[in-house]
Structure 1
Amino acid sequence: MAEPGDEHAPAAPAADLPAVGTWSSLIVTTAIQAMVSMALLTLPAMAPAVARALGVSTTLVGTYVAICYLAAMLGSLIGGTLARRLGAIRISQVGLLLCAIGLVLCAVPWLPAVAVGALFIGTGYGPITPASSQLLARTTPAPRMALVFSIKQTGTPAGGMLAGALVPGLSLWLGWQGTLVVVAMACLLCASVSQPLRAPLDADRQPGEPLALGALFKPIGMVLGHKPLAVLAAVSFLFSAVQVSVTAYMVTYLNESLGMTLLAAGVALSVSQLAGVVGRIGWGAMADRGMGPRNTLMLLALLMIIGSVLTALLQADWPTALIWAIVALLGASAIGWNGVYLATVARQSPPGQAGVATGGTLLFTFMGVVCGSPAFGAVAGLSGSYRVAVAALAVPAALALALLVWRAIQARRA
């Protein structure tokens, strides 16, 4: 349940909708989320090999991720409006197509082509979450919202887990360019598989929804005009800076600082992503069953601080099981927060406006990625140590914890 004073009336009850809406919505949105997440993380998962081929530093992976999320910011702002106009499934299919085009462009061994490819991938990635929030808010009963949204958001770490488990091996077999093309083909396959569900799940689309320029600013105004949403947006900015750094740099950190092979580092990335999958479900259930979303987010911030420090202290001669346990702790917290956060945003949004509110808060979430990923690379470059950069991730997590505590005090006074 949400804390008193921190939520709007929930969306229309799922019982009023066709049976196809409930489970089909969750399954298809989770699969699409996983696919676009894997698309975005394919290049970072084999960053050392790509950097060697292009003759650049691995720290530039932060720039690649930042370009992706700059484009995703715009996509998230218009994603809710486009989902209302064309339908959540159709917009998701378009997103998958754009990701496929971007992956093929990234396979061209020329930095400008990779940059343009990153723009395409980000533009495809951005609308996916607002579209799925619009669909799930319409089909999910309020008491299950945190859990259902958390299950859907397992698609993001699941995509990262697939990238960590498959991409390094594929790159050794097919080369880095062939791997990008294979993942592009998987995006197109996912888009085609979702087509039979388009008609029933997009039945609420409103073709007359205007696409005026003001649609870009409506989500921002909604967030800034409502204090609980504004605080959530700020927290997501900080959390996402931690999350993207963990996801984008885990393989590079373990490969260059601990001397792990690319395959072993990829397995460790998969472990952290799997922990994020399990964590998202667990945190969602915890938030729904009495702890509350704000208290759950506080706990996650604390675990991020502990996980960042422990990960920075990893040594090459430590047992593999211990290394996996530590990266799993960091993954469960730094990757596991999104479902609770998105469910809370959906609860606090005006009826029927969950996609718009989600798009507004995601602008700040993606800003955290855009700022956090290059900042991590800069700290690593200036200090000459990825360990220092990993330890520094405790700072944004601590700031987020302070914001959440402040908001809890304000809510109790109110």
Structure 2
Amino acid sequence: MRSTAGPGLLFVLVCAMGAGPMMNYGLSATSTLIMADLGISEAQFGVLAATCFAGAAVSSMWLGRLSDRISARSQLLIIFGGTALALGFAAVSGNYFWLLAAVLLSGPAQAISNPTTNRIIIRAVEPGKRPGWMGIKQSGVQASQLFSSLFFPAAALVAGWRGAAVGAVVVLFLLLAYAWFRLPPEPRLAAPQASGRRTADRKFPGSVWLLAAFALFSGAGMQATNVYLPLFAQREIGFSLLMGGVTAAVAGVVGVTSRVLWGRRMADGVRASTLLLILAAGAVCGAALLLAAGQTGASALLWSGVVFHGASVLGVNVVVMAGVLREVPPERVGSASGAVSLGMYSGFALGPLAMGLLLQYSGGFLAGWLSIGAAYLICGGIGLAYRRRGPKRDGSAVVGTPGK
């Protein structure tokens, strides 16, 4: 399967990473329409994203182990088909509780995306190229943010937010058809041996759990910002629905670029801990700029905060996932990715929920931005702890080498 690593396969990986988050980004971009249609509050809207990511967190460990056992095509069916089913269900939902059920369905589709794509990379791509591939495929999440932030508001102006969801279903099925036929044949999965079972039973190294912790706190701040950024731009800066969507789209564009660049920096041999500390510092600056924008109403501060947000915290996933490939042997990549995904999706669930509650009960975004900044400061401390584990786990440019 190593000879099959080319642009077509890379496009499949990008789409597989972007399919799962499409629903959340689409709902966020049309948040004002959804809240008006269903008569829900900001806190209730935050529960939508929290429910989705709670489903992802709960299923991530099991799906991570499953990804080590089933074919890649089966996993792509879960990713694309699961998200399409959730969006279709959302389009016909008659009330808030049916919409909650719909977003819950999209959780597992997101949870398995990292284990699936990491497994494909570890099988198909030579070690020296893996960090670059990681950066590009992780940018699929921000490509989805870009697409959803433009497509959903534009389609909603023509067919409403429900019609926009139906349009996204069509896109997902087209991508599934391409991925299904483009994915190369896989070797038959070997039956697990006793030694393999002993390997699977071993605890993960502490560095994996530090990466999971970093993903938890950065994910909380990142997703709270992603979910409420369009609403913040409309309420605090006076942007229109379309311009509110553009703020998330710009963050997505910057995020795509940043993930590719951070992946290349890892390919050049830069330590993962160094990059995590840089990303934490940039994320704090982004939160501070958004806070200042809300206090002053200055659109220039808003756009600066959007750029810092996209360049820093949106690049975390590529670094932590590339770090996972360095910490565990290939046969445990799926399960270890699931462990880090557990932290990430737990943060994704808690961030929007906390932001929604703070917004509803404080009457503004100030407390939310302060909380997000505090989460990023904690990330800095975790990055220092990860760095103290020493260069042996960070220094190799050959991703996929088992941790020593």
Other-structure match for 1:327: 306
**What is the deviation of 1:58?**
2.7
**What is the deviation of 1:351?**
2.5
Helix, strand or coil at the partner of 1:184: helix
Other-structure match for 1:235: 214
**What is the deviation of 1:330?**
1.3
Which residue type is aligned with residue 248 of structure 1?
Answer: V
Alignment partners' CA distance in 2, 1:83 and 1:91: 7
**What is the deviation of 1:18?**
4.1
Matched, 1:190 2:169: no
Superimposed CA distance per residue, residues 377-396 of structure 1 (whole angstroms, 9 cap, x where no aligned partner): 12222221113312321101
Helix, strand or coil at the partner of 2:20: helix
Q: Which moved more, 1:267-276 or 1:186-195?
A: 186-195
Alignment partners' CA distance in 1, 2:191 and 2:38: 47
Matched, 1:117 2:117: no
Task: Note closer, same or farther for the CA distance 1:240–1:393 as it changes in structure 2 (3 Å cut).
Answer: same
Tell whether the 8 Å contact from 1:41 to 1:160 is kept in structure 2 after alignment: yes
Q: Which moved more, 1:226-235 or 1:350-359?
A: 350-359
**Unmatched 5+ stretches in structure 2:** 394-404
Other-structure match for 1:5: none
Task: Note closer, same or farther for the CA distance 1:155–1:258 as it changes in structure 2 (3 Å cut).
Answer: same
Task: Note closer, same or farther for the CA distance 1:413–1:71 as it changes in structure 2 (3 Å cut).
Answer: closer
Matched, 1:131 2:116: yes
Task: Note closer, same or farther for the CA distance 1:54–1:280 as it changes in structure 2 (3 Å cut).
Answer: same
Other-structure match for 2:189: 206
Alignment of 1:77-226 (within 5 A): 77-107=61-91, 108-198=93-183, 200-201=184-185, 203-206=186-189, 225-226=204-205
Other-structure match for 1:403: 382
**What is the deviation of 1:193?**
1.6
Tell whether the 8 Å contact from 2:63 to 2:338 is kept in structure 1 after alignment: yes
**What is the deviation of 1:40?**
3.0
Alignment partners' CA distance in 2, 1:55 and 1:350: 50
Alignment partners' CA distance in 2, 1:301 and 1:345: 18
- Provide the alpha-carbon RMSD of the alignment: 2.3
Which residue type is aligned with residue 94 of structure 1?
Answer: I
Alignment partners' CA distance in 2, 1:205 and 1:231: 34
Task: Note closer, same or farther for the CA distance 1:96–1:34 as it changes in structure 2 (3 Å cut).
Answer: same
Alignment partners' CA distance in 1, 2:114 and 2:50: 18
Alignment partners' CA distance in 1, 2:220 and 2:210: 16
State TM-score, norm by structure 2. 0.89
Matched, 1:310 2:289: yes
Task: Note closer, same or farther for the CA distance 1:403–1:81 as it changes in structure 2 (3 Å cut).
Answer: closer
Tell whether the 8 Å contact from 2:217 to 2:375 is kept in structure 1 after alignment: yes
**What is the deviation of 1:311?**
1.0
Alignment partners' CA distance in 1, 2:188 and 2:141: 25
Tell whether the 8 Å contact from 1:33 to 1:155 is kept in structure 2 after alignment: yes
Alignment of 1:281-320 (within 5 A): 281-314=260-293, 318=298
Which residue type is aligned with residue 318 of structure 1?
Answer: A
Which residue type is aligned with residue 206 of structure 1?
Answer: L
Helix, strand or coil at the partner of 1:154: helix
Q: Which moved more, 1:65-74 or 1:396-405?
A: 65-74
Query: Percent identity between the aligned chains?
Result: 22
Alignment partners' CA distance in 2, 1:156 and 1:40: 11
**What is the deviation of 1:125?**
1.9
Alignment partners' CA distance in 2, 1:283 and 1:413: 20
**Unmatched 5+ stretches in structure 1:** 1-16
Alignment partners' CA distance in 2, 1:45 and 1:75: 26
Which residue type is aligned with residue 47 of structure 1?
Answer: S
State TM-score, norm by structure 1. 0.87
Alignment partners' CA distance in 2, 1:385 and 1:54: 22
Task: Note closer, same or farther for the CA distance 1:19–1:253 as it changes in structure 2 (3 Å cut).
Answer: same
Q: Structure 1 residue runs of 4+, over 3 Å off?
A: 21-25, 207-210, 315-320
Alignment partners' CA distance in 2, 1:267 and 1:370: 24
**What is the deviation of 1:209?**
6.5
Alignment partners' CA distance in 1, 2:388 and 2:322: 22
Alignment partners' CA distance in 1, 2:190 and 2:68: 8
**What is the deviation of 1:246?**
1.4
Which residue type is aligned with residue 97 of structure 2?
Answer: P
Alignment partners' CA distance in 1, 2:157 and 2:42: 18
Task: Note closer, same or farther for the CA distance 1:257–1:21 as it changes in structure 2 (3 Å cut).
Answer: same
> Which of these residues, 49, 53, 57, is aligned with residue 41 of structure 2?
57
Matched, 1:375 2:343: no
